[in-house]
Amino acid sequence: MSADPLAPPSDGSQMLLMGHRGVGTCQEQELHRRRCSELGLPLPDRIRENTLRSMLATHAAGGHFVEFDVQLSKDRVPIIHHNFYTDDGRFVGNLTLAELQAINEEDGCGPDEHQYSTLESFFRLLPDELGFDIEIKYPRQYKTGASLCPEFHWDLMDYVSTIVDSVRLLSNGSRRRIFYSCFVSDVCLALRRLHPEYPTVFLLNHKEGHKYTEVHGLNGRSGLKFAASAKLQGVAIRSEELQPPKVESMEDGRNVTEPGREFIIDCKRRKLRCLTWGPANNSSEFRRLQRDYYDCRTYSTSSSDDRCVKYYDCPTYSTSSRDHGSVKYYDCRTYSTSSRDHGSVKYYDCPTYSTSSRDHGSVKYYDCRTYSTSSRDL
């Protein structure tokens, strides 16, 4: 086990790059394919989310971590799947592993694209140098009294301990970097108690938080206070929360508001790692602003203060001399070439088409609130 799973990587890149469900959600990929078609660009292959193929593609693209969702089958086997229901509406927790694997067989896809892989297969088949962000899927309650998953029947501690016991067994003797994450504060508390050897990160989504009874995730301040009091290692916040409440221009999309700066400062004061995620990170200017702000004023990526961890929605990055080795990140599937690759093609997880600045005519198309047609914007 790594002494500090969230420490900057040893490859010199100084920040962690993580792939969301591998190379992104199926929905993001379909959006990207439509936009590629509209722009007359080559259509990338479809890679199903949360599959071995998707995780391996992350590793091939240079990602340090993959994020994936873990829940239990009826016979208590940890499986990798995001939704609580199958495509035909059955609750995953009411199906045995054999029944879920039968769905895989019906799909007619190869083993590396099975949508109900086991956690054991990920540990066994993915390279040890690829870190795991294990998100525990647990249904939240709506303020209306309804549940996100009414059929969910597991006791919280029993559910979490079953997954933790499996992780402890599978990671024994491994050098893989691992941490847990969850949107549910009680699950984070259970993880901290049951497996303190691995960091736990509290996931925040203020955009949706008002719908649920989860008070700690309602806003950034309450999330920070909870994470610090529970002795968690960090929080992961939507990057849009650092921007103005209403982004009406490209300039708005490039700015971190004063409350956003205060949030980052508060993270450091509480000795919490601040991870950011979401489509706002598609803006090159906003990425640079976050990087510069962390490096210069709040979070340092030097060996003397390595608290800066950026959590991105895909496993990709590129560097160029113009950016002094900075990370370029795209939140959906991307088609990109660069001089370093000598014309090679890389597919990333964002609806972006990008060529290197040496091409002097590059088109950068981002799936958020920015559109840039000039390398001068970089």
Q: Rounded to an integer, what distance in angstroms lies between the CA atom of residue 98 and that of residue 74?
A: 10
On whether residue 55 sits in a domain, the answer given is yes
The DSSP-derived string for 120-134 is: HHHHHHS-TTSEEEE
Question: Which of the residues in the chain have pLDDT under 70?
Answer: 1-2, 11-15, 24-46, 107-109, 207, 209-210, 218, 244-257, 279, 281-284, 287-378
How confident is the model at residue 252, as a pLDDT? Answer: 53
What pLDDT is attached to residue 254?
53
Does 329 reside within a domain? no
- The set of residues, in sequence order, having a beta carbon less than 8 Å from that of 160 and lying 6+ positions away, is 136, 138, 187, 190, 191, 194
Residue 152 near residue 85 (C-beta atoms within 8 A): no
User: Domain containing 126 — which CATH number?
Assistant: 3.20.20.190
Neighbours of 258 (CB within 10 A): 8
Residue 5 falls inside a structural domain: no
Residue 361: inside a domain, yes or no? no
Residue 199 counted as domain residue: yes
Please give the pLDDT value at position 198.
96
Rounded to whole angstroms, the maximal C-alpha distance in the chain is 58
- H-type helices in 40-118, by residue range? 52-60, 97-107
Give the pLDDT confidence score for residue 12 in this predicted structure.
65
Domain that holds residue 55: 18-321
Cα 54 to the center of its chain, rounded Å? 13
In a domain? residue 347? no
Question: Does the residue 378 lie in any domain?
Answer: no
Domain tally for the chain? Answer: 1
The pLDDT of residue 197 is 94
Domain annotation covers residue 341: no
- pTM value is 0.71
